């Protein structure tokens, strides 16, 4: 089940970068809950490349169309199908380079897996554009979570070698993330990150970065033990976003050099409620939420497409060549990944929420 995900709140992706459309079918959205096109569109707009210097020149209007499962603005309980059309597609460059394996891309593995029949244009179904399907579905997932006052907040915490320079409060994420093109909640860091991207771009190069995600308001007791732990399912989902190389929960890789006495989070009783004094666990113990915020970080590699010349291979002629890649690509995918991480986390949590009911 490779393009579908989830148990109850479940999604099925389809489409490709340079085909007719990118779409998603969503099952498990509660019947009677409103489906508001404007909300879905707002999420899609968040992942569109801006017209800033930081993004690709491909203009994607990405107007959501709803094809099934909604009647008079409310979900009927039937599968909800949504698509965006592919416009402003220019496949000309790809046609010339069908047999040239772009370094860092899935060109080679797709060719092997699909015996050369994969749609190579713009990466086909391996394109980052497929994440638009995650965003449309994620918008619905967020609606489900809102009913339970659960909120998912993602933001950029590192671009290249520039990290965010302060602790970030949730209200800053809400207010500031979409007011700057790098999707960072600290405006000074945002400027510096922007310069990092521009510099790489000017060099014909690209940079990676890190996105943090927080799930606030999660009830305790969500998640399943062992193989369906919160971490297992979130990481399963996150590694489907193109370009992800790592994930860590709570104190993550830093935990390795911590002492037990440092790492263990203590709880206290406040007004008869259990309260966690700190949150190195990332809100999860034994795979199950403990009531604290679920927090995790995702590492993204630099955009593989760069205009600098690279060595690679031509599979038709079976020889090495020098490639100067074209196509329209962001010099850093992290800003556009922020809403994708947020939406995908919402999809996972909506499913856990419904499994717990």
Which of the residues 284 through 303 are near its own copies (CB under 8 A)?
A: 284-290, 299-303
Q: Single out the residue of 97, 206, 213, 343 in contact with its own copies (rule: CB under 8 A).
A: 206
Q: 1 or 167: whose CB is closer to its own copies?
A: 1
- Bridge partners (DSSP) listed for residue 65: 83
- Sign for the pseudo-dihedral over CA of 236, 241, 247, 250: negative
Q: 174 or 216: whose CB is closer to its own copies?
A: 216
Hey, what are 42's tokens? 């707002």
Hey, what are 346's tokens? 């919402």
How far apart are the C-alpha atoms of 149 and 218, rounded to whole Å? 8
Q: What is the DSSP letter of 336?
A: H
Task: Tell which positions 212-251 bind its own copies, by CB under 8 A.
Answer: 220-221, 223-229, 231-233, 235-237, 239-240, 242, 244-251
Q: Single out the residue of 217, 265, 279, 328 in contact with its own copies (rule: CB under 8 A).
A: 265
What is the smallest separation between the CB atom of 171 and its own copies, expressed in angstroms? 26
Q: Single out the residue of 110, 140, 154, 348 in contact with its own copies (rule: CB under 8 A).
A: 110
What is the smallest separation between the CB atom of 61 and its own copies, expressed in angstroms? 18
Compute the C-alpha angle 306/13/26, nearest 5°: 140
Query: Mask: binding to its own copies, 301-320, rule CB under 8 A, as x and -?
Result: xxxxxx-x-xxxx----xxx
Asked if 355 and 7 count as a contact pair (C-beta separation under 8 A), the reply is yes
What is the smallest separation between the CB atom of 58 and its own copies, expressed in angstroms? 18
Q: H or E stretch including 8? A: none
What is the smallest separation between the CB atom of 160 and its own copies, expressed in angstroms? 6
Q: Single out the residue of 136, 150, 168, 200 in contact with its own copies (rule: CB under 8 A).
A: 200
Q: What is the DSSP letter of 34?
A: B
Task: Tell which positions 14-43 bind its own copies, by CB under 8 A.
Answer: 14-16, 19-21, 23, 25, 27, 31-32
Task: Tell which positions 37-96 bind its own copies, by CB under 8 A.
Answer: 67-69, 71, 74-81, 83
How far apart are the C-alpha atoms of 173 and 52, rounded to whole Å? 21
What is the smallest separation between the CB atom of 25 and its own copies, expressed in angstroms? 5
Q: 45 or 228: whose CB is closer to its own copies?
A: 228
How far apart are the C-alpha atoms of 142 and 347, rounded to whole Å? 8
Cβ within 8 Å of residue 23, ≥6 positions away: 13, 14, 15, 81, 82, 83, 84, 133, 136
- Give the range of 41-49, 51-59, 184-192, 259-267 binding its own copies by CB under 8 A: 259-267
| Pick from 2, 1, 78, 90: nearest CA to 35 | 78
What is the smallest separation between the CB atom of 186 and its own copies, expressed in angstroms? 17
What is the smallest separation between the CB atom of 258 and its own copies, expressed in angstroms? 6
Cβ within 8 Å of residue 177, ≥6 positions away: 154, 155, 156, 183, 184, 185, 338
Q: 20 or 171: whose CB is closer to its own copies?
A: 20
How far apart are the C-alpha atoms of 37 and 72, rounded to whole Å? 12
* Count of residues that interact with its own copies, criterion CB under 8 A: 137
What is the smallest separation between the CB atom of 192 and its own copies, expressed in angstroms? 14
Sheet with 4-5, strands from edge to edge, namely 4-5, 10-15, 21-27, 80-85, 65-68
């Amino acid at each position: 089940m490779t393009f579908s995900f989830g148990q109850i709140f479940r999604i099925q992706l389809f489409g490709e970068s340079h085909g007719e459309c990118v779409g998603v079918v969503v099952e498990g959205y509660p019947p009677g809950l409103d489906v508001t096109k404007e909300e879905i569109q707002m999420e899609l707009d968040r992942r569109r490349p801006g017209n800033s210097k930081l993004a690709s020149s491909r203009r994607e209007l990405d107007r959501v169309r709803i094809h099934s499962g909604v009647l008079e603005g409310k979900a009927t309980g039937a599968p909800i199908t949504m698509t965006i059309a592919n416009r402003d597609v220019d496949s000309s460059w790809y046609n010339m380079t069908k047999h040239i394996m772009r370094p860092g891309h899935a060109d080679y593995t797709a060719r092997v897996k699909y015996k050369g029949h994969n749609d190579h244009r713009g990466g086909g179904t391996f394109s980052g554009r497929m994440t638009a399907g995650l965003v449309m579905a994620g918008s619905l997932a967020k609606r489900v979570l809102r009913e339970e006052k659960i909120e998912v907040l993602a933001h950029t915490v590192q671009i290249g070698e520039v990290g965010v320079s302060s602790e970030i409060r949730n209200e800053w994420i809400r207010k500031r993330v979409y007011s700057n093109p790098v999707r960072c909640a600290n405006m000074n860091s945002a400027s510096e990150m922007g310069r990092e991207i521009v510099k790489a771009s000017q060099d014909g190069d690209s940079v990676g970065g890190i996105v943090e995600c927080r799930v606030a308001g999660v009830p305790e007791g969500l998640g399943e033990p062992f193989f369906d732990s919160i971490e297992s399912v979130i990481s399963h989902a996150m590694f489907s976003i193109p370009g992800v190389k790592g994930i860590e929960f709570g104190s993550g890789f830093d935990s390795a050099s911590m002492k037990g006495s440092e790492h263990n989070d203590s709880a206290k009783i406040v007004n008869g409620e259990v309260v966690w004094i700190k949150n190195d666990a990332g809100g999860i113990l034994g795979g199950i939420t403990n009531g604290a915020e679920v927090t995790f970080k995702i590492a993204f590699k630099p955009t593989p497409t760069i205009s600098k010349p690279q060595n690679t291979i031509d599979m038709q002629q079976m020889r090495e060549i020098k490639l100067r890649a074209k196509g329209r690509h962001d010099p850093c995918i992290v800003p556009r990944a922020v809403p994708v991480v947020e939406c995908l986390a919402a999809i996972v949590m909506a499913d856990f929420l419904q499994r717990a009911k």
